[in-house]
Amino acid sequence: MSNYVIGIDAGGTKTEALCATLDGEVVGRGFSGPSNLGTTSVGAASFSLKEAIRQATEGLADARVARMVVGLAGMDTPEEEKRAHEVFSQALHEYGINNLMLVNDTMIALKNGSDAQDAVIIISGTGSNCVGINSAGETKQAGGMDYLLTDQGSGYFIGRQVLREAVKSYDGRRTHSVLEELVAKHFSIPSLDHLKEQVYNPVLSKVEVAALAPLCSEAFDLGDVAAQEIFTHAKQELMLLLTTVVNGLQFSGAFDVVLGGSVTHIDHVQKYLKEQIVLKYPLAQVAIPEKPPVFGALKMALSTQQ
């Protein structure tokens, strides 16, 4: 019987699994639907996790999973962690997996980008979050409480402001913004007179609002003032997340800052963050991961076997 480890990125839109030998050779990969228990039913989340594992281990005879690490989106409180353990431990019992480790998905993204003992990650995709760890093993988080409470600087944050500034342009509360036309085009409506029905009937989801963020980039490239203001605010909010975590962890020397998520990969956003980080923290090293976060989960699974 051969021993393997599995790393999983269990997100709100998809689940990705990697299976590897104990020396780190990837032998299988699996993809499935969402596994976030906050936005997906228990049955659907359990199925997604098991399906990704099934694909990743397909064709491996007499495989024994020695360790599994799952980076789970939407697991931000002790109550959510307890529920996730109950749900997924039961779901994975049939695989004989007893050595299961569940962590917040920000931790696998952090480990994917840095091996440093002192490190912080800013994630800004659909939502936003910032998590750090120091050499004493202490952790600090800022944000990460979903869109009604946090998510500043995220795709959702930008998309929501796109809608608001487009309406302000339309009704005359601000100078004209090209966002007005871009939003109308996005929803295939002749004017923003028809926008309310598009937004509220039914109410747009967090993901659908975040999907409007590229309109802000398009307007920004055209020199639109409203888009510039939105991005300026978003950048400042991301730096506030970072400084809050760094100050809380009280790093005494060099540390890594990992940038993750689609918003941090926008050229002018990334440039701003790098400049501000170096200015505020001369000893900081900025890291941009080349591989997807699931490799961070695999790295964590492998490290516990050594």
Residues 88-141 have pLDDT tens digits of 888 887 777 778 899 999 999 999 999 999 999 999 998 999 999 999 999 999
In a domain, 298, yes or no: no
pLDDT at res. 71:
95
- Residue 273 sits in the same domain as residue 185: yes
Quote the mean pLDDT of the chain: 94
> How many other β-carbons are positioned within 10 Å of the β-carbon of residue 203?
8
pLDDT at res. 1:
62
Kindly state the greatest CA–CA separation across the chain.
Answer: 71
State the pTM of this model. Answer: 0.90
Q: Give the strand pairing for 139-143 and 100-104.
A: unpaired
Can you list the residues of the chain whose pLDDT is less than 70? 1, 305-306
- Domain hosting 39: range is 2-98
pLDDT tens digit string along 261-288?
999 999 999 999 999 999 999 999 999 9
- Distance of alpha carbon 233 from alpha carbon 130, whole angstroms: 17
Residue 81 in 3-state DSSP? helix
- Distance of alpha carbon 97 from alpha carbon 95, whole angstroms: 5
- Residue 227 sits in the same domain as residue 142: yes
pLDDT at res. 62:
77
Q: Which of 33, 65, 98 is the last residue of a domain?
A: 98
pLDDT at res. 196:
98
CATH number at residue 181: 3.30.420.40
Residue 109 in 3-state DSSP? helix
> How many other β-carbons are positioned within 10 Å of the β-carbon of residue 108?
29
Sole residue written with tokens 């039913």: 41
Residue 289 in 3-state DSSP? coil
